[in-house]
Amino acid sequence: MKFAISYSTADGVDPDRLVTYARHAEDCGFEGLYLPEHIVLYPGATVGPFEFPPALPYPDPLDCLGFVAAATQRILLGTAVLLLPYHHPVVLAKRLATIDVLSKGRMRLLTVGLGTLPGEAKAVGVDFGTRGRRTDEAIDVLRLLWEGGQEGVSFDGEFFGFDDVTSYPKPRGVTHLPIHVGGSSRAAARRAGRRGDGYFPGGALTPEERAIQLDLARAAAAEAGRDPGALEYTRWGSIDMSAEQVETFAAQGVTRIVVSPTAMEPERQRDEMCAFAQRFALRGTG
């Protein structure tokens, strides 16, 4: 089992606090650090019963990860989730590859999702109803640009198109960066199987629904001629979870667990991270 940790933007965007948090996570032995994304919020923006405070800070996750990369050595960099339909994939391919090169190959936990706020889609000029198709096309564009050589590549899609273009630098040492698909729907599970390198479901799903979605992801991978066994399965966990709970996750096919501190104070957060690392014998120095 792999263990990663997320950084809550509710903790603020103080650069020293972010770097200290990331370094401590690395010292504890966590595999990766995840950041969320919202491009804009607005009064009344809700997900289920949760209403976002309009002033809740959401810094750009890729800028933050580039900043973290310069202050760390080993920890992998991740998003949960990057709202892919709100990014132009030609620009995004360059940004992600640049972070990967400058971090010496650590931009490896990219998780993308569709977004759930109609006002956010409207603010960036995206038809909310096309998010799924835009995401599918954007994933194809990212991979095409990363894989393309000096002769250039072309694409003619519903949303994106170009002729004989090249995009350098390339991701470090790999043909393309892994792309995990986040979401809490069966459509997200199918997308993960058809196009993703992993599935990272969220939400308050029942155990039965989670099992159905994982089966859907694997079946979609097989139908697309891909290896279902190569699909990573990431889940949110709690920082106080027990070894028995981790074993239950593993029995369900989970390959990575992402946790978050419950405390708000930095010192207590570090204590929670240390306790988790010790409980599961993570290979860190913290």
The residue behind tokens 């991978």 is: 221
Q: Is the pLDDT of residue 100 over 70?
A: yes
Q: Is the pLDDT of residue 134 over 90?
A: yes
Averaged pLDDT for residues 98-118? 98
Quick: pLDDT tens for 179-196.
999 999 999 999 999 999
Averaged pLDDT for residues 87-114? 98
Quick: pLDDT tens for 31-74.
999 999 999 999 999 998 999 999 999 999 999 999 999 999 99
pLDDT at residue number 81: 98
End-to-end CA distance of the chain: 19
Q: Residues 176, 146: contact at Cβ < 8 Å? A: yes
| Average pLDDT of the chain to the nearest whole number | 97
How far is 240 from 272, CA to CA, in rounded Å?
8
How many C-beta atoms lie closer than 10 Å to residue 143's C-beta? 17
Structural tokens at position 100: 């990967």
Averaged pLDDT for residues 82-97? 98
How far is 227 from 231, CA to CA, in rounded Å?
7
Q: Which of 174, 175, 173, 181 is nearest to 139 (CA)?
A: 181
Task: For residue 286, name the pLDDT band (cuts at 50, 70, 90).
Answer: low
Q: What percent of the chain has pLDDT over 90?
A: 95
pLDDT at residue number 285: 63
Q: Is the pLDDT of residue 265 over 80?
A: yes
Q: Which of 190, 252, 195, 194 is nearest to 216 (CA)?
A: 190
Q: What percent of the chain has pLDDT over 70?
A: 99
Q: Is the pLDDT of residue 12 over 90?
A: no
pLDDT at residue number 105: 98
Averaged pLDDT for residues 211-233? 98
